[in-house]
């Protein structure tokens, strides 16, 4: 598998003193699900923001599809997408209107068919004419995931995508994402505090702490390296180094 | 249609959907301008009937009221539209889409123009029906006067949007307050000469002050206020360029400080 995202010596310093990300380097391969995990303040969110071009790195390089994010931002953003349980969509617009706006923003040619297809897959076709403000948080999350898949992205950035879903829908969403990944060769960068989910979803995980990568590899090798039975045990070992 | 045009249109459609569906948002365009026109219009009619009233008082006042509202709405068309995405936690979705900062600004300007046309149509019609005031009596002069007010409103709108991006939702009060800050020195309802010397000096640098002086000049003399229009246009070119430059510079600072995600969540 070739590298689709390449990060070299990425550093972010806020206010000339707080080092949020400290010279990290990693690659994301085509068609893999890469998990980014670590305690609060580890630098995951800042890394994700830099990968999306929302925050400028202090130093280092980010290349997506071989292109520099700071120079070819628009070209890259047309082929990637993002969803987070912490953001929403305009409340007054219906589900279909919201998806229409974003499909136009991403230049999707078969808008109507694509929207219908995704709403069907996420089992929310019946609420397509409902204003977003009337949806439950779980439904909004699913609409946001539809939005994130509208442009058939090559890379998908997901920030705790199942945080507001009930166990059944969270399980369905995970299965769906894995299916799309298999069928379309989608690469996913995934963050979550649910370690069981990370074990289930990720081909590889990157463990971050205090802005640095302290371990990287497939979940099995991480467990062996840290002598844990689950990623949760490893997480706790890292978060509480004295124990 | 090019990709760029399609994105600008997409973001404009996002807001048009909002006005189609939300009565409070629609009222924001129509309610306050109509209320202003009713209250101040009747006050003006009353005062004009008193002894010693200034000749043509109704014309000056209602003309000024409509024109000032155009400036205020053109500014709001930018900053309130931006706030809509902050309120609905949609800003990150927009900024991780391929829409560039330039396209974002262009769609806000386009949107502001649409809102202005709506507001102006309602106010002009109502002024004609209630007070027999025909703003088109200003003739061709109306065009440069209105354009100057719109551009000044845009400059203020872009400036306030930049400040909200930088300082977050705490600064959202600026969206309603900043334009009003310019009202006393814009000599909207009175000539610049009534201002104390230090405010007169400031008024020289305010495009709207030249526009309203121009409006009074044309209503009094029937001649084109070339000097005032030229002064307003020259100042506006400088201010719109400065506001756009400030927006881009600030956008870079906001990205460097990692504030974009904080405003958007």
What would the DSSP string read from start to end of A105-138? HTT-TTHHHHHHHHHHHTT-GGGTTSBGGGS-HH
Find the residue in A nearest to B23 (Cα): A92
**Continuous segment of H or E residues that includes residue B168:** none
**Chain A interface test: which of B3, B27, B87, B92 (most A C-beta within 10 Å):** B92
For B260, which of A54, A81, A106 is closest by C-beta distance?
A: A54
Q: Which of B104, B42, B36 is nearest to B70 (CA)?
A: B36
Angle of the B57-87 helix axis to the B207-221 helix axis, nearest 10: 150
Q: Which of B157, B152, B114 is nearest to B11 (CA)?
A: B114
- So what's the pLDDT on residue A130? 96
Range of the domain at B12: 3-264
Residues of A in contact with B25 (CB under 8 A): 92
Counts of helices then strands in chain A (DSSP H, E): 9, 10
Do β-strands A204-209 and A212-217 pair in parallel, antiparallel, or remain unpaired? antiparallel
- So what's the pLDDT on residue A239? 76
pLDDT band at B48 (very low <50, low <70, confident <90, very high): confident
Find the residue in B nearest to A78 (Cα): B98
Residue pLDDT tens, chain A, 243 long: 678 999 999 999 998 888 999 999 999 999 999 999 998 889 999 999 999 999 999 999 999 999 999 889 999 999 999 999 888 899 999 999 999 999 999 999 999 999 999 999 999 999 999 999 999 988 999 999 999 999 999 999 999 888 878 888 888 889 989 988 898 889 999 998 888 999 989 999 999 999 999 999 998 898 888 888 888 888 888 777 765
Find the residue in A nearest to B81 (Cα): A90
CA angle at residue A155 from A154 to A157, to 5 degrees?
150
Q: Which of B159, B92, B146 is nearest to B116 (CA)?
A: B146
Say if the Cβ atoms of A55 and B256 lie within 8 Å.
yes
d(CA A5, CA A138): 30
Find the residue in B nearest to A48 (Cα): B261
CB pairs under 8 A between A and B: 104
Give the domain ranges of chain A.
1-79+154-161+186-243
Residues of A in contact with B94 (CB under 8 A): 105
Q: How far is A215 from chain B (nearest CA, A)?
A: 26
Span B1-47, pLDDT tens digits:
788 999 999 999 999 998 887 787 788 778 888 888 888 888 888 88
d(CA A168, CA A165): 8
Q: How many C-beta atoms lie closer than 10 Å to residue B23's C-beta?
A: 10
Q: How many C-beta atoms lie closer than 10 Å to residue B83's C-beta?
A: 19
Q: How many C-beta atoms lie closer than 10 Å to residue A206's C-beta?
A: 24
Angle of the A95-105 helix axis to the B3-21 helix axis, nearest 10: 160
- So what's the pLDDT on residue B174? 87
**The two three-digit tokens of residue B257, written as one number:** 């400080």
For B98, which of A46, A77, A90 is closest by C-beta distance?
A: A77
Span B140-163, pLDDT tens digits:
888 999 999 999 999 999 999 999
For residue B189, which phi and psi values (nearest 5 degrees)?
-105, 0
Q: How far is A17 from chain B (nearest CA, A)?
A: 12
> Which strands form A155-159's sheet, in the order they lie side by side?
A80-84, A155-159, A187-191, A33-37, A204-209, A212-217
What would the mean pLDDT of B196-219 be, rounded to a whole number? 95
Find the residue in B nearest to A91 (Cα): B88
Find the residue in B nearest to A46 (Cα): B258
Higher-confidence position of B53 and A176? A176
Say if the Cβ atoms of B98 and A46 lie within 8 Å.
no
Say if the Cβ atoms of A101 and B265 lie within 8 Å.
no
Asked if A158 contacts A168 with a C-beta cutoff of 8 angstroms, the reply is no
3-state secondary structure of B48: helix
- So what's the pLDDT on residue B201? 96
Span B75-131, pLDDT tens digits:
998 999 999 999 888 999 999 999 999 999 999 999 999 989 988 998 899 888 988
CA neighbours closer than 13 Å in the CB half-sphere of residue B92: 29
- So what's the pLDDT on residue A243? 56
- So what's the pLDDT on residue B14? 93
**Chain B interface test: which of A15, A92, A134, A153 (most B C-beta within 10 Å):** A92
Give contacts of A 101-140 with B, CB under 8 A: 101-102, 104-107, 131
d(CA B179, CA B215): 19
- So what's the pLDDT on residue B75? 93
d(CA A217, CA A26): 11
- So what's the pLDDT on residue A162? 87
B131 to each of A239, B56, B116, how far by Cα in Å? 73, 12, 21
- So what's the pLDDT on residue B131? 86
d(CA B85, CA B94): 8
DSSP A37-104: E-STTSSHHHHHHHHTTSS--SEEEEEETTEETTTSHHHHHTTEEEEETT----TTSBHHHHHHHHHH
Tokens 């104390």 found at? B196
Overall number of domains in chain B: 1
d(CA A79, CA A53): 13
Say if the Cβ atoms of B90 and A89 lie within 8 Å.
yes
Q: How far is B167 from chain A (nearest CA, A)?
A: 15
Sequence-separated (6 or more) residues with CB below 8 Å from residue B68: B149, B183, B186, B188, B208
CA torsion sign for B85, B90, B92, B95 is negative
d(CA A36, CA A190): 6
- So what's the pLDDT on residue B177? 86
Class of domain A1-79+154-161+186-243: alpha beta
Enter the DSSP assignment of B202. Answer: H
Outline where chain B has alpha helix (H).
Answer: 3-21, 23-48, 57-87, 91-95, 101-131, 142-167, 174-181, 197-203, 207-221, 226-257, 259-264
Q: Is the pLDDT of residue B68 over 70?
A: yes
d(CA B99, CA B251): 14
Q: Chain-wide mean pLDDT for chain B?
A: 90
For residue B90, which phi and psi values (nearest 5 degrees)?
-110, -5
CA neighbours closer than 13 Å in the CB half-sphere of residue A174: 21
Say if the Cβ atoms of B99 and A105 lie within 8 Å.
yes
ipTM: 0.90
């Amino acid at each position: 598998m070739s590298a689709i995202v390449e990060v070299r010596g990425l550093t972010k310093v806020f206010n000339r003193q707080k080092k949020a990300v400290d010279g990290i380097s990693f690659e994301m391969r085509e068609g893999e699900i890469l998990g980014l995990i670590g305690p609060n303040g580890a630098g995951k969110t800042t890394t994700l923001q830099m990968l999306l071009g929302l925050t400028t790195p202090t130093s280092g390089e980010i290349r997506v599809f071989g292109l520099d994010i700071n120079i070819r931002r628009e070209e890259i953003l047309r082929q990637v997408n993002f969803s987070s349980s912490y953001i929403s969509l305009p409340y007054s617009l219906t589900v279909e209107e919201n998806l229409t706006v974003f499909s136009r923003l991403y230049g999707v040619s078969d808008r109507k068919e694509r929207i219908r297809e995704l709403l069907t897959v996420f089992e929310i076709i019946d609420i397509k004419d409902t204003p977003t403000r009337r949806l439950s948080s779980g439904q909004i999350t699913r609409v946001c995931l539809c939005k994130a898949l509208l442009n058939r992205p090559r890379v998908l950035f997901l920030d705790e995508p199942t945080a507001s879903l009930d166990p059944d829908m969270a399980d369905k969403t995970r299965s769906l994402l894995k299916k799309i990944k298999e069928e379309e060769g989608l690469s996913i960068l995934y963050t979550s505090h649910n370690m069981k989910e990370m074990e289930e979803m990720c081909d590889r995980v990157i463990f971050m702490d205090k802005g640095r990568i302290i371990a990287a590899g497939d979940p099995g090798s991480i467990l062996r390296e840290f002598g844990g039975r689950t990623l949760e045990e490893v997480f706790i070992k890292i978060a509480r180094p004295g124990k | 249609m090019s990709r760029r045009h399609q994105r600008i249109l997409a973001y404009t459609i996002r807001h048009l959907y909002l006005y189609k569906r939300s009565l409070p948002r629609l009222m924001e365009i129509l309610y306050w301008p109509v209320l202003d026109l009713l209250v101040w219009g009747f006050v003006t009619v009353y005062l004009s009937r008193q002894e010693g009233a200034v000749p043509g008082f109704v014309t000056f006042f209602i003309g000024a009221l409509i024109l000032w509202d155009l400036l205020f709405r053109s500014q709001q068309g930018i900053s309130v539209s931006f706030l809509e995405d902050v309120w609905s936690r949609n800003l990150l979705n927009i900024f991780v889409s391929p829409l560039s900062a330039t396209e974002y600004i262009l769609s806000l300007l386009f949107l502001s123009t649409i809102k202005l046309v709506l507001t102006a149509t309602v106010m002009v019609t109502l002024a004609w029906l209630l007070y027999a005031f025909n703003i088109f009596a200003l003739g061709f002069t109306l065009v440069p006067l209105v354009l100057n007010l719109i551009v000044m409103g845009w400059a203020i709108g872009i400036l306030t949007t930049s400040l909200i991006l930088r300082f977050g939702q705490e600064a959202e009060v600026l969206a309603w307050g900043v334009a009003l800050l310019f009202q006393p020195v814009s000599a909207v309802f009175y000539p610049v000469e009534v201002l104390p010397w230090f405010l007169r000096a400031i008024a020289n640098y305010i495009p709207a002050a030249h526009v309203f002086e121009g409006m009074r000049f044309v209503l009094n003399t029937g001649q084109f206020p070339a000097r005032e229009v030229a002064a307003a246009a020259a100042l506006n070119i400088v201010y719109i360029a400065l506001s756009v430059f400030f927006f881009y510079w600030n956008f870079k600072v906001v990205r460097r400080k990692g504030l974009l995600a904080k405003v958007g969540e």
